Amino acid sequence: MSQQTLNDALILYPVLNSDISSGANISASKIQQHKMISSDFGLDPDDTPVAKTKLVYVAQQSATLTTFRAMLADTGTTTNVSFDLKKNGTTVLTATVDITNSQVDNTMYAATITSTSLSAGDVVTVELAVTSSTAALGPYCEITLNDSYIG
């Protein structure tokens, strides 16, 4: 293994493919997965945003939400839409991602997640609320999370 020293108290040992022999028999339960889940709310990039809620993930074991970002392909002329991330019907954000016509097209806007932990059975949904969407197009959002492999 190669060693990197960040300071006297912390030493990192990254495990590289060449460090693991073909017969190492490493348990799949030791693998952590970083997942990116996206939703276009069932709309094409040239569709006008409409209010919708989409189920995007059901936790099979504990997991940690890491990021939530959203955008519009075109923010339109008189637009006010909000994206929310919910666990079991309750928001997990400090504030929704609000996008108006004054914001930049095709630019991801991030939210702060206040409740990051998921347990087995938790249902994650994304909600698109639309106040106005004149000439707006293509809602899209992404969630990233970390979980362990289920064997």
Residue 24 resides in a domain: no
C-alpha–C-alpha distance, residues 41 and 49, integer Å: 9
Residue 7 resides in a domain: no
Whether the predicted pLDDT of 72 surpasses 90: yes
Copy the structure tokens of residue 61.
Answer: 């074991």
| CATH number of the domain encompassing residue 57 | 2.60.120.340
Residue 18 resides in a domain: no
Q: What is the mean pLDDT of the chain?
A: 88
pLDDT tens digits for range 49-70: 999 999 999 999 899 999 999 9
According to the model, what pLDDT value does residue 11 have? Answer: 53
Tell me the pTM.
0.81
Which structural domain range is residue 89 located in?
Answer: 33-148
Is 3 or 151 the better-scoring residue by pLDDT? 151
Structural domain count, the chain: 1
**Distance between the two ends of the chain, CA-based, in angstroms?**
27
Residue 12 resides in a domain: no
Beta-carbon contacts of 141 under 8 Å, excluding residues fewer than 6 positions away, are 38, 39, 68, 69, 70, 71, 83, 85, 97, 126
C-alpha–C-alpha distance, residues 97 and 95, integer Å: 7
